[in-house]
Each structure stands twice: as C-alpha cells, then as structure tokens.
C-alpha cells in the first residue's frame, strides 16, 4: 500500500489528496503548518478553512509533523511557489531516498529559475511536475480532470498512471519538465490580460483575438526559455491556459476583471498570493537580460506597465490592440 504525502493542507493539496484517499487503499497524509487544519480534518473530516462545506474521506489524515515525510513513497508539493525551495532545503533530512518529489505549485523558484530546476540541484530524488486544467473545487467534487505528468525519466510514468487509475483523473506525459513549469507560470499572466479585456468588452470576437495572440506569445517565450513547442498541446499547455484565462473561478482572471473594472488596489494583491502578478516582473527581467524588445512581447510588457506605472487602465485594450496588430510575435 503506497504512502502518499502532500506538503500543504490548502485547496489543491486537500482536493487531490482526498481524491487519492477515497477507495484505492492508499495511505494519504497532508503535512501542514496549520494546526487548526489538521485538527478539523482528523476530528471532523472537513477542512474548515478551505472547504468548510465539503465532507472529506475518513482515510485522509493530516499532521503538523514533518517527520511523516520519511515514510512516504511519493511526496507532492502543494505549498506556495515562493517557499518551496526553502522548505525542501530545511527538510532534506526528512526526504526518503530515491522517492519521487512532485511539484504542484505554479511559479518561479529562486533567481528566476523553475522550481524543479532549483530542486534538482539540492536533492538527489527524482523531481517531477504535475500540471493541468484542474480547479481544486471540481477535483474535490469528483469531476473528470486531467494533468500532464512531466519527468526526465520515462519509466516513472506507469507508476503515476497506476496511481490515478479509476480516479477519473487522466494523464498525458512529457519529458519537457522545464516547459511544463514555464507554461504553468505564463498562463497566469495571460489570464490577467484576458480578465482586463473581458471587463472592458464582453465580446467573443475580441476575446479570441487576444487569446490567439497571447498563445503565440506564450509559444515564443516557452521556446526562448528552453521548453519544447509540442508541450503547448499537452494538458499543461493550452488546456491549463484556457481554463485559467476563460473561467471566473480563476484567481488571476478575477484579478484582471478587478483591474479592468477599476476596483483593483495594491492592497488586494498584497494580501493574496497572485502568481500572475508576481511572475510578470520576473519574466520582464529575463526578457530584458536576453535583449528582447517590447515589440516582440507586447502583451506581457503592456501588463507590466499596468503594474509598474501610473497607468490609465481604460486605455489598456486600445493600446494593446495597436501593439499586437502587426503580428510580430
């Protein structure tokens, strides 16, 4: 019987952990720094903080003890991207030798590098990525869903496929771990842009005009950073981008809607981890280092100006359309 550990008792950790704990005989444990979350899961079978109205499997357990990681067959990282590298550095002695470490978070690691790239340098374990068009709430409600499993070792894929067998979770596979990680960050950026556009014009024509140019810009950035074009057509690519950019359950699309409607204030983003906003500045820094111009990446640069200047957001759509009309990217 496999022992699965999810680092993090938030939404995605709870949802995926609960799905795997239900009926397959796996030992599933959430390792959390929140004692109240652990108590509510263990005593009342509810994650009161994140899913207060949803009963969880009685087989899902939680703990605040990091030593629980030592017995795990697979460890899933479901904590904010900004803290993962530091967490793993501190917990190296608790990681079971040779066991898979799977990153669920969507964001950069240290120094503008991917989380998986950073982890591969500090631990000997196989470091993999799991990304896809999956909202935690739908996952918890047993809706069919999909992920891309990315690993440099093809032999690990059958193990993951078996893990999700009969769970209505469908996988595709790529060895392009870097590309999978990069796309999971980019999609949040362009979801903000689509939110701003839709806040100004409820127009299907305009929405898919911008969606098309955004997808082209994502392709350009992906290849520039060492990812493979075909990864765009995995679940982690167009699927996750479409889900995040076009569905109002998306936090980053919602941020775009707030900006477009004029309700956004700096205090909002300071209190909520919004991966897209954080990532914009990181990507601009990378593009500047590579000598890339605003003409080549007009969408991400325009959003950068929104976040970093005294920007009149009512002009966003017109300015954006003028910049992308040439079709350079």
- Residues belonging to the active site: 187
Coil, strand, or helix at residue 75? Answer: strand
The C-alpha atoms of residue 78 and residue 177 are separated, in whole angstroms, by 17
CB 191 within 8 A of CB 245: yes
Task: Write out the DSSP string of 254-266.
Answer: HHHHHHHHT---H
Degrees, nearest 5: CA angle 8-11-16 = 80
Coil, strand, or helix at residue 64? Answer: coil
The pair phi, psi for residue 12, each rounded to 5°, is -70, -40
The C-alpha atoms of residue 213 and residue 209 are separated, in whole angstroms, by 7
Site of tokens 């009963």: 55
The C-alpha atoms of residue 44 and residue 37 are separated, in whole angstroms, by 10
228 contact partners, CB below 8 Å, separation of at least 6:
174, 176, 179, 222
Nearest to 160 by CA among 139, 180, 130: 130
CA atoms within 13 A on the CB side of 133: 21
Neighbours of 1 (CB within 10 A): 8
> In the 8-state DSSP scheme, what is residue 186?
H
Nearest to 79 by CA among 71, 90, 313: 90
Q: How far apart are the first and last CA of the chain?
A: 50
**How far out from the chain centre does Cα 67 lie?**
26
């Amino acid at each position: 019987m496999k022992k699965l550990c999810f680092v993090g008792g938030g939404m995605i950790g709870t949802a995926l952990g609960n799905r795997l704990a239900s009926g397959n005989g796996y030992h599933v444990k959430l390792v959390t720094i929140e004692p109240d979350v652990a108590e509510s899961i263990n005593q009342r079978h509810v994650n009161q903080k994140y899913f207060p109205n949803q009963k969880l499997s009685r087989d899902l357990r939680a703990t605040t003890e990091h030593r629980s990681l030592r017995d795990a067959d697979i460890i899933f990282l479901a904590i904010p991207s900004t803290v993962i590298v530091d967490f793993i550095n501190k917990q190296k002695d608790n990681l079971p030798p040779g066991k898979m470490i799977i990153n669920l978070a969507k964001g950069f690691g240290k120094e503008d590098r991917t989380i998986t790239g950073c982890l591969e340098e500090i631990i000997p374990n196989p470091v993999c990525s799991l990304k896809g068009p999956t909202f935690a709430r739908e996952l918890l409600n047993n809706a069919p869903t999909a992920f891309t499993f990315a690993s440099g070792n093809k032999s690990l894929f059958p193990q993951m496929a078996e893990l999700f067998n009969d769970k209505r979770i469908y996988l595709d596979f790529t060895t392009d771990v870097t590309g999978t990680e990069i796309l999971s960050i980019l999609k949040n950026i362009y979801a903000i842009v689509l939110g701003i556009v839709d806040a100004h014009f409820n127009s299907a024509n305009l929405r898919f005009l911008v969606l098309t140019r955004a997808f082209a810009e994502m392709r350009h950035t992906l290849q520039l950073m060492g990812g493979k074009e075909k990864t765009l057509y995995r679940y982690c690519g167009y699927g996750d981008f479409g889900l995040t950019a076009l569905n109002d359950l998306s936090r980053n699309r919602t941020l775009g809607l707030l900006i477009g409607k004029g309700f956004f204030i700096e205090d909002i983003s300071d209190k909520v981890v919004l991966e897209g906003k954080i990532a914009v500045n990181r990507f601009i820094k990378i593009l500047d280092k590579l000598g890339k111009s605003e003409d080549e990446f007009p969408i991400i640069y325009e959003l950068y100006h929104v976040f970093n200047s005294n920007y009149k957001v009512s002009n966003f759509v017109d300015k954006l359309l003028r910049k992308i009309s040439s079709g350079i990217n």
